[in-house]
Structure 1
């Protein structure tokens, strides 16, 4: 009987995304299919993001063609910094093996192997696949074949009708216990076996049982140029935009100290801000603004100040958590705007560093981040330099409803 991976190991799930092919059946004039755009975004970017935002996923390896480093960097954007990039081999099988080798030091409990040309995989399918992987058991998402199958004869006519009973169409991501599938690939490589059409077939060849899990009818592989056109049409112009704006406000008073944290940047100052965490007033306001677009409460709901684990914590943890909730709902952060209200310290010299820090936390282009400051004209507690306040606004685009 296959022992399940324990809950403690559940988060040690790695991913290998195979993106080294040339995609010639989709037409080579516009470049490999994984770098084509659908609804304005590269296919590979969509495929990577699904895994990066999943709570159970650890390291993600993307295997690319040796000639595609610039293409990948441009297509993946900021996501490229969050993955391990490996050059692939002459075949898909070679590329997967090289991707698995890149994970040996990490030694994950489980690994998912996914084709970059399947950009419509969803978190529910990822969950089902992960849950079905055992210590000596692989998991294969698949759909029962519904079309009538025919076998063609040599003269171009039908020679027989093939029973579809028990037949399934395989999908990715396919899931495996890491070291057994690594060993299986190495065994196939040393044996000169290069005719496997997917990784589940290699597992079967070495005696690893493969459990079928329910696939997804929308998890199609983009193979032909028409597939890409249809995917673009599916995403473009078929949904009403769901644009949400959230606001956040926070204030902290000063106490004895020699620095303040503002928007992720440590700034020398004659006082510090008082708070349970690092009291970064700008990031606290931004966290509330992001949570507001989900209707997900406020920062205190997720990180109560009564919880000792958050004492002295960096506030970027809060922002990254809020951003992950946004992405989990399919949201795309379009803009984040923060206004710091203080007499001192001066914000201008640190604005570029603040923008860069927030850009990294949110995984969006710096051009979508605005950080600015104003004084309170010497009025009130801010004017008396007793504290700092911040106002933040976040704009997020969520998947809309399909139009009639």
Structure 2
């Protein structure tokens, strides 16, 4: 039989901090004790709850080797916290934290990962208010990314509908005795495969209500997460705006069309090249690669490689754009100038702009396609070929390596 819960409206909290955080770089120590904005991660998490009027008591579950680290990180807040040694897994640590609250017998309990230092008072309030006598509360955000299922050979096996899918956060809130009993049941059953406490609640039939999470309530998992959190709090994360230039030229040969900026245009000649010889897209590819210091188009698509013979140049642009995005870059603008006497570019400019915008995944308003002649001078003036100049502007995170 469950002991009576305290009649007040306060909620206890268990802050889980017994992990090693090896994905964040074990050599620098557990991530929960690293400083962000001049203060340890766990200190910020404790402060969020210690400063909330509806929270009491606070339990911190730490690794047996980390008592000194915790005392140094928590400082004067040590007097506000019940410190408990954790177990071999997060699930064990939560169970031990709940055990430490048996005497207090709170009506409600929150379970929070110490590595989420940006939890705010409003989120804590929403979660507490959604906890019922037999109902848990789970802060979550709707999944916005397209989800793919991986096949055994690492190819895409299918697209997963993101409708009704949510990403779980902490703190997760529960009526105390039901979640305590659920953890004990899982422990005695030898179940250690639950990925969060809401999953244990679901397993034992406790309804879990979704509440609005916070996009700021990120979990610090990797070393980069900690670096970005530090910059965010220190006010030193400035955008890194980079501009790259590209130039290309192709001569004419016999044919009946040219490819320019992704558009096929009827003409009395065609451009000579190993691929489709789209001079505009080749210049744009080089401009994008330049913002990453990633060489030029020939570095990534050697003309000596037969697989690129006759290839559509949009492949090259999309590859360069992917490299930019993988580095956290945002393409702010793409500007292409085509230099030729013929064909006329004006009638095809809207189609070119739309094609490039689609390749880059940006708004057409961020794409400029212009054309000029060479005033009948030089090889362009003699209609022996077409040249193109491209400029790309990309905004990278302020911590991108030089």
Pair 1:217 & 2:215 matched: yes
| Distance in 2 (alpha carbons) for counterparts of 1:8 and 1:80 | 26
Aligned residue for 1:29?
A: 27
Aligned residue for 1:228?
A: 226
Aligned residue for 2:108?
A: 110
| Distance in 2 (alpha carbons) for counterparts of 1:42 and 1:203 | 31
Q: What are the within-5 Å matches in structure 2 for residues 3-402 of structure 1?
A: 9-11=8-10, 13-237=11-235
Runs of 4+ in 1 over 6 A off after TM superposition: none
Q: Deviations over 1:120-146 (max 9, x none)?
A: 000000000000000000000000000
In structure 2, the residue corresponding to 1:67 is in which secondary structure?
helix
| Distance in 1 (alpha carbons) for counterparts of 2:6 and 2:53 | 13
**Is 2:6–2:106's contact at 8 Å kept on the other side of the alignment?**
no
| Distance in 2 (alpha carbons) for counterparts of 1:137 and 1:171 | 17
Q: 1:10: Cα distance to partner?
A: 1.1
Q: Sort the Cα spacing of 1:86 and 1:7 in 2 relative to 1 into closer, same or farther, 3 A.
A: closer
Q: Sort the Cα spacing of 1:7 and 1:196 in 2 relative to 1 into closer, same or farther, 3 A.
A: closer
Aligned residue for 2:358?
A: none
| Distance in 2 (alpha carbons) for counterparts of 1:139 and 1:128 | 9
Q: TM-score w.r.t. structure 2 length?
A: 0.57
| Distance in 1 (alpha carbons) for counterparts of 2:41 and 2:27 | 16
In structure 2, the residue corresponding to 1:77 is in which secondary structure?
helix
Q: Structure 1 regions of 5+ residues with no counterpart?
A: 1-5, 240-404
Q: 1:8: Cα distance to partner?
A: 5.3
| Distance in 2 (alpha carbons) for counterparts of 1:92 and 1:102 | 15
Q: 1:7: Cα distance to partner?
A: 11
| Distance in 1 (alpha carbons) for counterparts of 2:38 and 2:235 | 12
| Distance in 2 (alpha carbons) for counterparts of 1:190 and 1:152 | 34
| Distance in 1 (alpha carbons) for counterparts of 2:35 and 2:6 | 38
Q: 1:238: Cα distance to partner?
A: 5.0
| Distance in 1 (alpha carbons) for counterparts of 2:211 and 2:109 | 16
| Distance in 1 (alpha carbons) for counterparts of 2:185 and 2:36 | 38
Q: Sort the Cα spacing of 1:192 and 1:7 in 2 relative to 1 into closer, same or farther, 3 A.
A: closer
| Distance in 1 (alpha carbons) for counterparts of 2:95 and 2:33 | 22
Q: TM-score w.r.t. structure 1 length?
A: 0.57
Q: Structure 2 regions of 5+ residues with no counterpart?
A: 238-402
Q: 1:237: Cα distance to partner?
A: 2.3
In structure 2, the residue corresponding to 1:103 is in which secondary structure?
coil
In structure 1, the residue corresponding to 2:64 is in which secondary structure?
coil
Q: 1:171: Cα distance to partner?
A: 0.1
In structure 1, the residue corresponding to 2:133 is in which secondary structure?
coil
| Distance in 1 (alpha carbons) for counterparts of 2:20 and 2:8 | 36
**Is 2:61–2:97's contact at 8 Å kept on the other side of the alignment?**
yes
Q: 1:9: Cα distance to partner?
A: 2.5
| Distance in 1 (alpha carbons) for counterparts of 2:57 and 2:83 | 11
Q: Sort the Cα spacing of 1:95 and 1:114 in 2 relative to 1 into closer, same or farther, 3 A.
A: same
Q: Sort the Cα spacing of 1:7 and 1:193 in 2 relative to 1 into closer, same or farther, 3 A.
A: closer
Measured on the aligned residues, the alpha-carbon RMSD in Å equals 1.4
| Equivalent residue pairs, number | 233
| Distance in 2 (alpha carbons) for counterparts of 1:171 and 1:27 | 23
| Distance in 2 (alpha carbons) for counterparts of 1:7 and 1:133 | 15
| Distance in 1 (alpha carbons) for counterparts of 2:133 and 2:106 | 12
In structure 1, the residue corresponding to 2:112 is in which secondary structure?
strand
Q: 1:82: Cα distance to partner?
A: 1.1
- Per mean C-alpha deviation after superposition, the further-off stretch among 70-79 and 83-92 is 70-79
